[in-house]
Amino acid sequence: GESVGLHLPTLSVQEGDNSIINCAYSNSASDYFIWYKQESGKGPQFIIDIRSNMDKRQGQRVTVLLNKTVKHLSLQIAATQPGDSAVYFCAETHSGNTPLVFGKGTRLSVIA
């Protein structure tokens, strides 16, 4: 996805609802994708990753879906909690050894 954005899209959800954060990536050669969570004033925190030979991967309360046909990645958070409020970035790389390229990011705001 594009690595520069002037404004972060914002997603507001009610506590307890499920959240879906989307990301479009641009490099069809990318084969490894990661979702990061970034809280204010901190570095990105790894959430979940997926390789291009998979289309779905589940973690604890999170699921990542990969659609290579349309170059789309999504992060689903189940039963969203106030602590999930942060900016979420998708990142892509090729063969794992090249630098990560970050998407624009989405700010998730959880309404208690």
Interacting stretch for other proteins, rule CB under 8 A, among 31-39, 56-64, 66-74, 76-84?
31-39
Burial class (CB in 10 A: 0-12, 13-18, 19+), 106: buried
| 96 belongs to the binding site for other proteins (CB under 8 A) | yes
What x-and-dash track marks residues 48-87 binding other proteins by CB under 8 A?
A: -x-x------------------------------------
Do residues 98 and 29 lie in contact, with contact meaning Cβ atoms separated by under 8 Å?
no
101 scored as a contact of other proteins (CB under 8 A):
yes
